[in-house]
Amino acid sequence: MHRTKYIFVTGGVTSSLGKGIIAASLAKLLQARGYRVTIQKLDPYLNIDPGTLNPYEHGECYVTNDGAETDLDLGHYERFLDTPTSQANNVTTGRIYQAVIDKERRGDFLGKTVQIIPHITDEIKYRIQLLEQSGDYDLIITEIGGTIGDIESLPYVEAVRQLMWEMGRENALVIHLTLLPYLSTTGELKTKPTQHSVKMLMESGISPDILVCRTEHHVTDEIRNKLALFCNVEKRAIIESIDAETIYDVPLLMLDEGLDRVVLEKLKLSTAQSPDLSKWNEFLSKFKNPSQTVEIGLIGKYVELHDSYKSIVESTIHAGAVNDTKVNIHWIHSEDLNSDTVKAELTGLHGIIVAPGFGPRGIEGKIKAVQFAREHQIPFFGICLGMQIAVIEYARNVMHMNEANSTEMDENTPFSVIDLMSEQKTITNKGGTMRLGEWDCELLHDSKAYAAYGHSKLKERHRHRYEFNNKFLQAFEQAGLQAVGFNPETRLVEVIEIRNHPWFVGVQFHPEYKSTVLNPHPLFVGFIKAALVNKGIK
Ligand code: GLN
């Protein structure tokens, strides 16, 4: 009988080892062998979801088709696998506790004392197995956030222990991702932190089946023997994960190390079909051997932490590869842009992206960037807040509505060209209440956006509370800024363009969430093409 099998991924020694990339790489290899696979991330923090988190905390908030605000690792999963994830793919401790406490209030526990074990662990087990119910997957990879030994990870580790016991070792296994630090004074990789971390996992009743070892240097045979002996892991299941040039190399490195093969053998699944990575390799070779470069400015207010714009950066990589182009991102802090600096900061760029964001900080700098791109005919791509800023800039500098603004920044502006959506006006809670997820958009045929997509009906992902104020639509169109994409039901403006400009496109949605290695997003592809034209190449 067919049953879904589980691969649990834990992390040891330190955080930020890249569990998400290892999980996504393994999933890619299994998918390339014909298995149906998905990935799930369990985050041990108390927020219900990362939607309320400042990007400085954990980087970008990623959004799924069904409108879940999730950890950025889900972006890696989608970009690697080219299959959508959903709310069920990201679970936080906050969500687990909320569900259990709601049940308690309803009286579902029939007078029992509600405890971490079994009630919280049961809820974790239920969430882990929720994805299985669709029957869509042969394998589910579940990444446990945090590091083994953290207090907040304990209920997850206990839930995994129970599931391993219930499912049996042919149906579930544990991969432990760990670090082998290199001591330059003695020129050695050290295994002790890994031994301790495995020991800690064993104290919780879990013996890892596979060790993936992050390292700056190759892992010698001697070290593999040592790790095998002291960590109770078969030698063939000691997998080296050496620092890679790019994250897109990691699936190939894992293939060389046989990670997918060991996983399948341990789960008693066939390895007969070898992985077909032809398209992946095609992308990699284009990505690594570009025939030209373009300089793209990314204007945002969280640029100190590049992870805040993860999906945008990856989208430019995908779009660069199909255009045989290396995209050099110039990180530009919006707060650094003013009339004195804008010329020096932006001259020489072939394209300018104004990033999404919330609140007034850095807004005036973003307006300066839009004005520079518009006046100097530099390809401009405004995403969400970036589109709204383009509207404000046009109102102020072309239409002479000097104090035009979004009501997000100035509630009393005389020209509220961007305004709170009416359905948002009664909402007070901040969590999960934006206009989220996939919504329809229809494009005018005579537009840059249509030329990029090649069709007029789209579904794109959203995350916003404010919108173009249709009260001003006619005035804008007369002045040369056109709405070229609308929600067909509500007429909400989804895409704006300026006609007498080589490529000036602003979108209310987030195209970056849908770009994948195998399907680069058409708007990013069009934008990079326009940047190449601007450079004089195409
Ligand atoms: N702050 C703006 C809004 O809520 C833009 C949001 C965004 O850029 N994601 O509409």
State the distance from the centre of ligand 1 to the C-alpha of 47, rounded, in angstroms.
Answer: 20
Q: Which residue has the least CA distance to atom 5 on ligand 1?
A: 385
| Pocket perturbation via mutation, ligand 1, pick of 361, 439, 465 by most ligand atoms within 8 A of CB | 465
State the distance from the centre of ligand 1 to the C-alpha of 387, rounded, in angstroms.
Answer: 9
The per-residue pLDDT for 58 is 84
The per-residue pLDDT for 193 is 96
Which atom of ligand 1 lies nearest, measured to the CA of 359? Answer: 1
Instruction: Tell me which residues are annotated as active site.
Output: 384, 510, 512
The per-residue pLDDT for 2 is 61
Which atom of ligand 1 lies nearest, measured to the CA of 355? Answer: 8
State the distance from the centre of ligand 1 to the C-alpha of 346, rounded, in angstroms.
Answer: 24
Taking the chain (538 residues) in consecutive chunks of 10 residues, what is each chunk's mean pLDDT? 87 90 97 96 93 88 96 95 94 97 95 96 96 91 94 96 95 97 93 96 96 97 96 97 96 98 97 96 96 97 94 97 97 96 96 96 96 98 98 98 96 96 87 94 97 97 97 97 97 96 98 97 98 90
Task: Tell me which residue of 303, 495, 528 sits closest to 383, measured CA to CA.
Answer: 495
Which atom of ligand 1 lies nearest, measured to the CA of 434? Answer: 4
Residues 6+ apart with CB under 8 A from 160: 8, 10, 142, 144, 174, 206
Q: Is 90 exposed, middle or buried (CB count within 10 Å of its CB: 0-12, 13-18, 19+)?
A: buried
The per-residue pLDDT for 427 is 86
CA–CA gap between residue 41 and residue 21 (Å, rounded): 12
Greatest Cα pair distance, the chain, in angstroms, is 76
The per-residue pLDDT for 407 is 96
| Pocket perturbation via mutation, ligand 1, pick of 424, 464, 492 by most ligand atoms within 8 A of CB | 464
The per-residue pLDDT for 1 is 46
Q: Both ends of the chain: CA-CA distance in Å? A: 56
| Pocket perturbation via mutation, ligand 1, pick of 54, 298, 384, 496 by most ligand atoms within 8 A of CB | 384
Pocket of ligand 1, beta carbon within 6 A = 356-358, 384-385, 408, 463-466
State the distance from the centre of ligand 1 to the C-alpha of 385, rounded, in angstroms.
Answer: 5
Burial string for 325-342 (b: 16+ CB within 10 Å, else e) reads bbbebeebebeebeeeeb
| DSSP annotation string for 241-290 | EE--SSGGGHHHHHHHHTHHHHHHHHTT----SPP--HHHHHHHHHHHS-
State the distance from the centre of ligand 1 to the C-alpha of 313, rounded, in angstroms.
Answer: 19
